[in-house]
Structure 1
Amino acid sequence: MSTELAIQTTGLTKQFGCHLAVNNVDLEIASGEVYGLIGPNGAGKTTLIRMLAGAEAATTGEVYINGDRFSTDENHPVIKRQIGYLPDDFPVYEDLTVEDYLQYFARLYQLKEPRRSRRVLEVLDFVQLGHKRKSLIPSLSRGMKQRLSLARTIIHEPILLLLDEPVSGLDPIARQQFREMIKILQAAGMTILISSHVLSDLAELCSSVGVMELGFLVESTSLQNLYQKLSRNQIFISVLDKLDLLEVELKNCPLVRSWERVSDRSLKVEFTGEDAEAADLLRSMIEASIPISQFHTIQESLESIFLKLGHQQPS
């Protein structure tokens, strides 16, 4: 297997009784990528991540981590040290202080002194919890507990992070803090697989995405390719007045598929042309003496694109 791939699976399948949670998934994630995994509840995302982390045995199929075969029926200490796994419930031990919690996991990963204590202080500083090192975990906010869980996940300096719904339940400020930390880790060379229902976060973070539906990986591609394949070209137009005249002008343009009124002076237009044709459309409006105050293209959201894929099923 190519060592340029941080993750590769072939025919990966997990069956619980009669239920196929993950169905014949072939996944490739390049080293250094931030890969977003999206899909509805029950699509198989968590089960797939657990198999990649070695926490769940596959029914059939194979997993390769940085080119090495990885299975739960064998001991893989070298591979396991390369992986940091943050499950969706981010368990913490509430009878410990923040520092003791990280010391405990550092010992589990067999970090020796003085490196162990130095590493604890490094990750506390990274997740901005240095001032809470002597605090008991129950005193932390949800966002702080999630940052502490991330600190535990990276305490042993893994090169692959598997993050399952890491921003679930966090407020916008806490989500922004978490996004910034993910960006720093990616810039440091980590490969990161992250599942989330907050698609705006994934659109900001990810270079590639995978879409799961009913256990199948129905799409796996770069974010740029996904936008090119499925996004509609939209134009936002505002006028000072003469909105009815604007709509007449749009009816006369064959490249305008449809539009909707955003306000009494604004429209969002679905446009099938390219930039040059959009410029021609703007010119025609100006020549028709329509007082344009705003005219700009809109990037369709990842959420909107996901909804198009939501009911697709593999043939």
Structure 2
Amino acid sequence: MMQPETTLNRELAIATHGLTKQFDRQIAINDLDLRVEAGEVYGLIGPNGAGKTTLIRMLTAVEEPTAGEIYLFGDRLLRDDSNPKLKQRLGYLPDDYPLYDDLNVWDYLDYFARLYGLKNPRRRERIYEILELIQLAEKRHSPITTLSRGMKQRLSLARTIIHEPILLFLDEPVSGLDPIARMQFREIIKILQEAGMTILISSHVLSDLAELCSSVGIMELGFLIESTSLQDLYQRLASPYITLKALNNLDILKAELNNCPWVSSWEALPENGHFRLHFCGTPENSATLLRTLVQSGIAITEFTLSQEDLESIFLKMGHKQAS
């Protein structure tokens, strides 16, 4: 009975069937079916306690599922020694992986390259490649303890991919990083994806996921409540809105907004003269609205039609789940 499903799985980097994990009486992952296509960056979203880390730990054979099956590129993943080559194709960066501060950058990577069985001259070549990728070539002789937080995180990523995996799991990789360090980390992920690596990444920084990911999965209390492409998610759930700033005649503005058929609701923002409109019309309708406001004698200095971002969609979905 499994043969047709296994054939189907070979088109997927990750496929799970009824995946469940229970700790004592608590169900951390509940009958979860996940599909991730080869070559994509898949973002995992959810509040603390949703089960994201537990899921990743099962997908990397760190945790044993209570029930269900995991297939990676069509091969069954088990925690025994039945398929060691499959595990060698994985890279896993947990959110709390320690560094060895008493080593320098080169020796740290050399140590892990040796663990993965890389032999010279390939080992030396690979370390140089990785150092260039993570922009730490000039720091190769520096003690790890002297590196910034962002550099340490990039070094952790380098250790994770030193053996050239084809499937990479990242659990909150940009947690605590400043905007510049996050940008540097994002650029590395893009390069890895362009090189053909499949990446599953969990993060609370949804703006980063929106920039990196082609698909997302939203988790809540161990359930995968949504798994789809970002494009589909935006089309179904992202509402358009208009932000504007008016310098005068605010009473006339409010009357016009109340009478406009394309404005379902509006709110005055804390900054004086700024408004946010929940808009249900077309771009052409927004141009008509702007023309009407100006013809009514209202001085409009800002007028922008936008779409809700990933964070807004996630918060809206969480509100619906709670209600």
TM-score category of the 2 structures, normalised to the smaller one? over 0.9
Q: Counterparts of 1:1-315 in structure 2 under 5 Å? A: 1=6, 2=8, 3-262=10-269, 263-311=271-319
What secondary structure does 1:125 align onto?
helix
Q: Distance in 2 between matches of 1:13 and 1:73?
A: 18
The one-letter code matched in structure 2 to 1:265 is G
Q: Distance in 2 between matches of 1:7 and 1:108?
A: 26
The one-letter code matched in structure 2 to 1:285 is L
C-alpha distance after superposition, 1:275-304 (max 9, x if no partner): 232233223223323332222212212112
The one-letter code matched in structure 2 to 1:53 is T
The one-letter code matched in structure 1 to 2:62 is A
Aligned residues of 1:218 and 1:312 also touching (Cα < 8 A): no
What secondary structure does 2:224 align onto?
strand
Task: State the 1:108 CA deviation.
Answer: 1.4
Q: Distance in 2 between matches of 1:31 and 1:195?
A: 17
Identity of aligned residues (%): 63
C-alpha distance after superposition, 1:88-146 (max 9, x if no partner): 11221222221111111111111111000110111011111111211222222211110
What secondary structure does 1:92 align onto?
coil
- Root-mean-square deviation (Å): 1.6
What secondary structure does 2:34 align onto?
strand
The one-letter code matched in structure 2 to 1:268 is R
Aligned residues of 1:238 and 1:265 also touching (Cα < 8 A): yes
Q: Distance in 1 between matches of 2:42 and 2:90?
A: 15
Aligned residues of 2:249 and 2:297 also touching (Cα < 8 A): no
The one-letter code matched in structure 2 to 1:72 is R
Task: State the 1:83 CA deviation.
Answer: 1.1
What secondary structure does 1:310 align onto?
helix
Task: Sort the Cα spacing of 1:312 and 1:247 in 2 relative to 1 into closer, same or farther, 3 A.
Answer: closer
Task: State the 1:68 CA deviation.
Answer: 1.2
Task: Sort the Cα spacing of 1:301 and 1:40 in 2 relative to 1 into closer, same or farther, 3 A.
Answer: same
Task: State the 1:18 CA deviation.
Answer: 0.5
Task: State the 1:311 CA deviation.
Answer: 4.8
Aligned residues of 1:236 and 1:269 also touching (Cα < 8 A): yes
Q: Distance in 2 between matches of 1:311 and 1:242?
A: 35
Aligned residues of 2:13 and 2:72 also touching (Cα < 8 A): yes
Q: Distance in 2 between matches of 1:46 and 1:117?
A: 33
Which of 245-254 and 114-123 deviates more? Answer: 245-254
Aligned residues of 1:90 and 1:146 also touching (Cα < 8 A): no
Task: State the 1:57 CA deviation.
Answer: 0.9
Q: Distance in 2 between matches of 1:53 and 1:47?
A: 10
Question: What is the number of residues matched between the two proteins?
Answer: 314
Task: Sort the Cα spacing of 1:312 and 1:73 in 2 relative to 1 into closer, same or farther, 3 A.
Answer: farther
Query: So what's the TM-score if we normalise by structure 1?
Result: 0.95
Q: Distance in 1 between matches of 2:312 and 2:196?
A: 30
The one-letter code matched in structure 1 to 2:192 is L
What secondary structure does 2:98 align onto?
coil
